Structure 1
């Protein structure tokens, strides 16, 4: 009651069905593997932030949905729109990676990564949805007045950790991370950067440098402005 906008989350049903279709039917034609990938170490502990991603995205949608419909709508457009674009790119440019190491250890982290490898194929990796959605959730929370500065720092740390986890558990190439970040920037500009700049100017505030514009664009401060 009063939160009927949460019904819009059902949009993820066809999106997940679409992803399942891609996973089962698309055969990679382009293998993404760079020299830099060979220098990036395999670090098992990063499976933790990689898995946290699932809860992080859910938290972002629920928290914004409870505190601000506008923030919820923006995040939903960001995530669902970006996922749809990723799926289209997967179909147009079928891609995969061959970075996964042979895991012979039997410790808990090793078993978790081996399980991840069994449920998440090394296909449809570029752009990285893990990276794209993490940036989207952090953007939504950082632009939410109800979210305290300390919580924003935690969110930023989680976002960076998740992005790094994709390459340290060898689930993505550095190319996937770069294109996931670029795609996130494309969505961020109309959904957050431009509205933030317009709102700032509506209070008759002046920009004194490009740095001022950048700060307002990436770190929205609801009125009153300092």
Structure 2
């Protein structure tokens, strides 16, 4: 009996398999890129980075990113009624992360923006030092923190169920903004990384919108175009 229930659950959530398999591939590829030990890294830097002060308080939204992405993907797996919206979100995430891996291989890059030392014994300073110890300042272009946050933000705002809940939309939008800012105020990313991540998210969102355009939407668009052409023909006659 328990086996049957387990089989039914697996069948119910079998669509999650694609993202789980990709996640395993991504983590393996990311780890390999990080351990590659390139002799020469291209330093990412712009004068704007120097105008942005280091602010340890942004460590909170920076770490909230992990739960934010995880919770969003889990909700779209388990609760989203429109399966295409789930596939659209994971396609966005997978496309962006794959591009990031490719860029890291063909254009190894790094930052030299971090402060020499993070002063203080408060929780924010402690978490910043932990972050710097565990995350190298290499392969930062484009910012996946920014890209994935914006991909999730798009998906949440477009979902018919979630967009009815104003607190969810407001919370998502504010947290996305804070995450984007945190990457720069913690000196984890350059303005270039952030801008590239944002531009890439817009471009790939347009592509995914086209790929996952539903048949009714296409039919409606075709009908409007046909009606417009008919009207133009009638006016010329």
Structure 1 length as normaliser, TM-score? 0.84
Query: Is the Cα–Cα contact under 8 Å of residues 36 and 174 in structure 1 kept in the other structure?
Result: yes
Partner of 1:75: 89
Q: Which has the larger radius of gyration?
A: 2
Partner of 2:191: 174
Quote the Cα distance in structure 2 between the aligned partners of 1:154 and 1:25: 38
Quote the Cα distance in structure 2 between the aligned partners of 1:201 and 1:158: 36
2:16 is aligned with 1:6 = yes
Quote the Cα distance in structure 2 between the aligned partners of 1:85 and 1:26: 20
Residue 128 of structure 2, aligned match among 110, 113, 130: 113
Quote the Cα distance in structure 1 between the aligned partners of 2:126 and 2:110: 23
Quote the Cα distance in structure 1 between the aligned partners of 2:217 and 2:157: 16
Residue 170 of structure 2, aligned match among 153, 157, 171: 153
Residue 18 of structure 1, aligned match among 10, 29, 34: 29
Structure 2 length as normaliser, TM-score? 0.81
Quote the Cα distance in structure 2 between the aligned partners of 1:99 and 1:199: 47
Structure 1: state its 5+ residue gaps.
207-226
CA RMSD of aligned residues (A): 2.0
2:65 is aligned with 1:53 = yes
User: How many residues get paired?
Assistant: 205
Quote the Cα distance in structure 2 between the aligned partners of 1:205 and 1:149: 32
Partner of 1:43: 55
SS of structure 2 residue aligned to 1:170: coil
2:82 is aligned with 1:64 = no
Query: Is the Cα–Cα contact under 8 Å of residues 95 and 125 in structure 1 kept in the other structure?
Result: yes
Quote the Cα distance in structure 2 between the aligned partners of 1:158 and 1:104: 26
Quote the Cα distance in structure 1 between the aligned partners of 2:15 and 2:65: 23
Runs of 4+ in 1 over 6 A off after TM superposition: 203-206
Quote the Cα distance in structure 2 between the aligned partners of 1:200 and 1:161: 36
SS of structure 2 residue aligned to 1:98: coil
Structure 2: state its 5+ residue gaps.
1-8, 226-237
SS of structure 2 residue aligned to 1:25: coil
